[in-house]
Amino acid sequence: MLDREGLLANFTRDTGITLPGEQVSRLEDYIRLLQEYNQKVKLTAITAEEEIWRKHVLDSLLIFLALEIPAGARLVDVGTGAGIPGLLLKIYRPDLRVVLVESQRKKVTFLEEVVAKLGLQHIECLWSRAEELGRQEGYRESFDLAVARALAGMNTLVEYCLPLVRVGGSMVAYKGPGGEEELEAAARAIRMLGGKTGAVWRGRLPGGLEERMLITIRKETPTPALYPRRPGMPAKRPLA
């Protein structure tokens, strides 16, 4: 297993993504806080530092190979959990204006603690469900980019994310090798919600053999007022 320095060197060589020293230091602080808090509240099953770097941090940064994110973009991370990927993207790109959405209060408490201790600005931690946020003024159709990782199938995920994205913006779903089948099953839901499938990035997790897909959905028309449906419905009865 490579140490952190080796992982970062190989990641930069393979992707061209370089992490400045200040970002590396903040990411180290995040990992330390995650490991400490994880002893009290289950945030991740991955606890070894090198694996957190590989499976959480570097995996999150693969999005910068999938699409170009403009300076100052407004980003929402739906079902962020421990802040993955949204908080990690904010640390790497401080210019981003980020909203982290999480339905479990104990996880939001962790996120608030990390944001305070790292001194991050222009980042909001919300205790909410995507179905509720997608109907609120100031959030509905107001984001340049919505991201989600390890949250739900694509036909559910698009109902969580697309109502939050402005026309002309995008959502990106982090997926494994089954993403192609999920995307096919979600084709009608994507159209219904105002989206259109964009680029699909395929690659592998840094330092490993795990396959990764990053699926981009462009928002072309406004989402009908019917969506998102009430909390729980997108998961219970996915659009087909």
Per-residue pLDDT at 148? 96
**pLDDT recorded at residue 6:** 87
Q: Compute the average pLDDT of residues 163-190.
A: 95
What's the pLDDT band for 150 if we cut at 50, 70, 90?
A: confident
Contact 172, 145 (CB under 8 A): yes
Total number of domains in the chain? 1
The CATH number of whichever domain residue 87 belongs to comes to 3.40.50.150
Alpha helices for 54-193 (secondary structure H): 59-61, 63-66, 86-92, 105-118, 130-133, 154-161, 179-185, 187-192
Contact of 173 with 157, CB cutoff 8 Å: yes
**Cα–Cα distance between 153 and 160 in angstroms, integer?**
11
**Percent above pLDDT 70 for the chain:** 99
3-state secondary structure of 162: helix
Distance between CA atoms of residues 53 and 59, nearest Å = 8
Tell me the pLDDT tens digit for each residue of 219-229. 999 999 999 99
Instruction: Give all strands of the β-sheet with 143-149 in edge-to-edge order.
Output: 123-127, 97-102, 74-78, 143-149, 165-175, 211-219, 195-204
**What is the extent of the structural domain holding 81?**
4-236
pLDDT digits (tens, 9 = 90+) for 11-37: 999 999 999 999 999 999 999 999 999
Give residue 230's pLDDT. Answer: 95
